[in-house]
């Protein structure tokens, strides 16, 4: 758990962790120089907690991404579940996630849906997956082992809902701050490159919306609550819009560099080959020529290579590129 001036809602989250049917073996908390009573609340909770609570005070304000990076690095368990300071977990969350990992040994990461709620934990009428466009078609892709095709275009996995095997710590750390992707997106993308991704469709988190959220988390949460239709349209447009390719190529290239650095430790050769093919397709779509004949040749080449079918929406994407 990462904290920063979270006193108002922190007790509810801590209580929900203490109420888990499967208690955590440890709770690692990194506080990012809070000026309210956050640290005192954690110490009070630790005094009577049925599990170990380790509070670490940052020497300086690190920001959300680097604070999570530090907290992850300090974890000692085999499974690491990330926690925001202002949500509330379902009592079955950790048990369900642990059972999923046990049932699917090839899964490196598990994430769940969440119920979006207001400051008083009243449901706002939609779930988190709806707000990020993780619909039935995208879930099918993940089940088919194509999680990268879902994760590379944008945010899908939310940190408050995810857990991953600690053996991937050295793959995901350190976490870059200069990408259009924060810690949860980076973690999911890297692990999906070398392991299976699994998801639980039930909402096992109450994902709270309020005006005083931590920098970074607030930006993400605000984006996700601006109207279901607009959110879904924006996600779909981002996947197919030429201006989005630059960001996807940058993110994919940085992920590739990390995989290359860790290739021996994580047997990344196959992952590198898959990511290279995806990047080749993205670069081809990003640089289609203006001339109709030249454009048609490029589109046909991508079709014959089957990269449109593997990494886009098949003939639909090809026709879209031809008519653009």
Please give the share of the chain, as a percent, with pLDDT higher than 90: 80
Q: Does 17 score more than 90 pLDDT?
A: yes
Of 149-158, 227-236, 281-290, the range with the lowest mean pLDDT is: 227-236
What is the distance between the alpha carbons of residues 155 and 29, in angstroms, rounded to a whole number? 25
What is the distance between the alpha carbons of residues 53 and 46, in angstroms, rounded to a whole number? 5
Of 7-16, 101-110, 242-251, the range with the lowest mean pLDDT is: 242-251
Cα–Cα distances in angstroms (integers) from residue 182 to residues 156, 188, 204, in the given order: 11, 10, 22
Residues 149, 204, 19, 85: is their CA dihedral positive or negative? positive
- β-strands 88-89, 196-208: how paired? antiparallel
> Can you give the pLDDT at residue 195?
96
Q: For residues 10, 14, 16 and 21, what is the CA-based torsion angle, rounded to 10 degrees? A: 170
Question: What predicted TM-score, i.e. pTM, was given to this entire model?
Answer: 0.87
Cα–Cα distances in angstroms (integers) from residue 132 to residues 2, 37, 63, 129, 172, in the given order: 23, 33, 23, 5, 22
| Average model confidence (pLDDT) across the chain | 90
Task: Assign a CATH topology to domain 2-226.
Answer: Spore Coat Polysaccharide Biosynthesis Protein SpsA; Chain A (3.90.550)
pLDDT tens-digit series, residues 145-195: 989 888 987 779 999 999 999 999 999 999 999 888 889 999 999 999 999
User: Which residues of the chain does CATH 3.90.550.10 include?
Assistant: 2-226
């Amino acid at each position: 758990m990462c904290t920063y001036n979270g006193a108002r809602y922190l007790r509810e989250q801590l209580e929900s962790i203490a109420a888990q049917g499967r208690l955590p073996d440890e709770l690692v908390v990194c506080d990012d120089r809070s000026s309210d009573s956050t640290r005192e609340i954690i110490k009070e909770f630790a005094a009577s907690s049925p599990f170990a609570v380790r509070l670490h005070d940052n020497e300086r304000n690190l920001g959300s991404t680097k604070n999570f990076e530090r907290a992850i690095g300090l974890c000692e368990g085999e499974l690491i579940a990330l926690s925001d300071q202002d949500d509330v977990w379902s009592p079955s969350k950790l048990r369900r996630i642990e059972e999923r990992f046990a049932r699917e040994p090839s899964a490196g990461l598990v994430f769940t849906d969440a119920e979006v709620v207001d400051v008083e934990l009243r449901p706002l009428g939609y779930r988190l997956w709806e707000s990020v466009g993780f619909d039935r078609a995208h879930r099918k892709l993940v089940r088919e082992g194509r999680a990268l095709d879902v994760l590379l275009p944008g945010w899908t996995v939310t940190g408050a809902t995810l857990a991953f095997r600690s053996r991937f710590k050295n793959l995901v750390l350190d976490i870059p701050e200069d990408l259009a992707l924060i810690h949860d997106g980076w973690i999911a993308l890297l692990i999906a490159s070398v392991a299976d991704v699994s998801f639980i469709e039930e909402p096992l988190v109450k994902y709270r919306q309020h005006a005083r959220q931590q920098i970074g988390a607030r930006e993400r949460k605000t984006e996700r609550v601006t109207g279901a239709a607009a959110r879904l349209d924006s996600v779909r447009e981002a996947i197919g819009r030429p201006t989005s390719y630059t960001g996807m190529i940058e993110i994919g290239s940085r992920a590739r560099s990390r995989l290359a650095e860790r290739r021996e430790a994580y047997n990344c050769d196959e992952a590198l080959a898959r990511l290279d093919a995806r990047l080749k397709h993205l670069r081809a779509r990003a640089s289609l020529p203006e001339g109709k004949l030249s454009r048609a040749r490029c589109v046909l080449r991508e079709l014959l290579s089957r990269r449109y079918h593997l990494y886009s929406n098949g003939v639909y994407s090809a026709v879209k590129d031809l008519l653009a």
